[in-house]
Amino acid sequence: MLILPKADIAPSEITPREVYAERRKFLGQAGGLALAGATLGLAGNSTQAAQPARQRIQGIVKTPYGEEEKPTPYEDVTTYNNFYEFGTSKADPAEYAHTLKTRPWTVSIEGEVKKPKRIAIEDIFKIAPLEERLYRMRCVEGWSMAIPWVGLPLKTLIQWAEPTGNAKYVEFFTLADQQQMPGVRDNILDWPYNEGLRMDEALNPLTLLAVGLYGEILPNQNGAPLRLVVPWKYGFKGIKSIVRIRFSEQMPVSSWMKASPREYGFYANVNPEVDHPRWSQASERRIGTGGLFQRRQKTLIFNGYAEQVAHLYSGMDLQRNF
Ligand SMILES: Nc1nc2c(c(=O)[nH]1)N[C@H]1C(S)=C(S)[C@@H](COP(=O)(O)O)O[C@H]1N2
Ligand SMILES: [Mo]
C-alpha cells in the first residue's frame, strides 16, 4: 500500500521559503549583535541557554578518510542545516533543536532479525571503537560540505543485530514527537521521517552511523544522538535522530518518496547527469568557502566515491533508478 502524502504545501514552495529564511537569518545576525552585548554582563554567554555544552568524545580512532578534503568550518556545519522536524529554513534547526532530549535514548531493532532488540545509545558507543572520517556531503539542493564525522560503520551494528536471511533492506525512522519537535505539527512530510538502504549499500564500508562531528558529541541540529551518513548519496538519505531500525524483505518507501515520487527516488545516488526537477545536479556550491559569489565546482558521480560503490549498481539504469 502506498500511503498518500499529507503535504499541504507543494514542495515547489519550499525553495522560496528558504530564500526568505536566509534573508531573515541575515537580518537576525545584524540585530543579534546588540542583544549579545546586552546579556554579556549577566550570563557571560548569550547562547548558553539554547546550545548545550560541547562535549568531546574520548578514544576516537583517526582514519585517513578524506585527508585531501578541507573541512567545512564547524560554524557552518552546525548552523546551516536541514532538519524539517524543527522547521524548513536552514537556520531553524540550530535555533530550535535544543528542545530535543537525547538522553535517555534507545534504538529499537525489529523486523527480519533473529530476535527484536533495544539498544541504549551508550551501548552503541561500546560496540566498536569510534572512527573519525572526513566525508564529502552533497545536498540535492545544490550545496555541499566536508564534515569530519565520528561514528561506527553501520555494518558493525548490523552484525550485532543479527538480521535473518530474508533481510534485503534496512529502514530507519526518526523520532516524531510534537512536544520536542515543533515542525512535526506541520504536515510537510509523512512523519516519522524514514529512509532506507538496500542491504549491500548498508553493509558497504563507507556507510556510517554517526554519533559525533569534529571530535564532539553530535549537536542536536545535526541529528543527535545517532544519524546515518551515506556519503555517495544525497543528504536526505542521512536520516537524523534515529529511534527505530527495521530489516525488511520489501523496498521501503521513504518520506521524501511519498511527498514527491517524481523528485525523490529510493537510490538517491549523487549523479551529475540526473537533474532533480528543481535543481541541477551538475555542479555544487561548497558552503563556507567564499560567500555567494564563489565559483561552483563540478559534481562527481557518486559524490567522488565511485571506486568504492559503483559496483553496487552495475547493470542498473541510473536514469530510472534515481
Ligand atoms: N529526520 C530528518 N533527517 C534529515 C532531514 C530531515 O529533515 N529530518 N534532512 C535531510 C537533509 S535534506 C539533509 S541535506 C541532511 C542535512 O544534514 P546536516 O544538517 O547535518 O548537514 O539531513 C538529512 N536528514
Ligand atoms: Mo538535503
Cα atoms in the Cβ-side hemisphere of radius 13 Å centred on 2: 8
CA–CA dist 41, 139 (Å, integer): 40
CA–CA dist 24, 283 (Å, integer): 26
In this predicted structure, what is the pLDDT of residue 289?
82
- Cα 40 to ligand 2 centroid, rounded to whole Å: 36
Question: How does DSSP assign 174-189, residue by residue?
Answer: E---TTT-GGGGSTTS
**Which candidate, 266, 257, 59, places its Cα nearest to that of 168?**
266
Q: Say which ligand is closest to the CA of 83.
A: 1
- Cα 175 to ligand 2 centroid, rounded to whole Å: 18
In this predicted structure, what is the pLDDT of residue 40?
26
Q: Which residues line ligand 1 (CB under 6 A)?
A: 81-85, 139, 174, 193, 222-223, 235-236, 238-241
Nearest CA to ligand 1 atom 11: 236
- What is the enclosing helix (H) or strand (E) of 116? none
| Other CB atoms within 10 A of residue 185 CB | 10
In this predicted structure, what is the pLDDT of residue 51?
67
Q: Say which ligand is closest to the CA of 256.
A: 1
Instruction: Report whether 77 contacts 147 (CB < 8 A).
Output: yes
Sequence-distant (≥ 6) Cβ neighbours of residue 133 within 8 angstroms: 63, 65, 66, 148, 149, 151, 208
Which among 83, 218, 245 is the best mutation to test ligand 1's pocket, defined by most ligand atoms within 8 Å of the CB?
A: 83
Q: φ, ψ for residue 130 (rounded to 5)?
A: -80, 140
Nearest CA to ligand 1 atom 24: 239
Cell (9 digits) for 160: 550485532
Per DSSP, helices labelled H in 128-245 are: 154-161, 199-203
- Cα 43 to ligand 1 centroid, rounded to whole Å: 32
**Can you give the pTM of this predicted structure?**
0.86
- CA angle, residues 244, 193, 85, in degrees to nearest 5: 115
pLDDT, averaged in runs of 10, over the chain (322 residues): 39 38 42 32 41 90 97 98 98 98 98 98 97 98 98 98 98 98 97 98 98 98 98 98 98 98 97 96 92 85 98 97 96
Q: Say which ligand is closest to the CA of 230.
A: 1
**Which candidate, 232, 68, 60, places its Cα nearest to that of 149?**
60
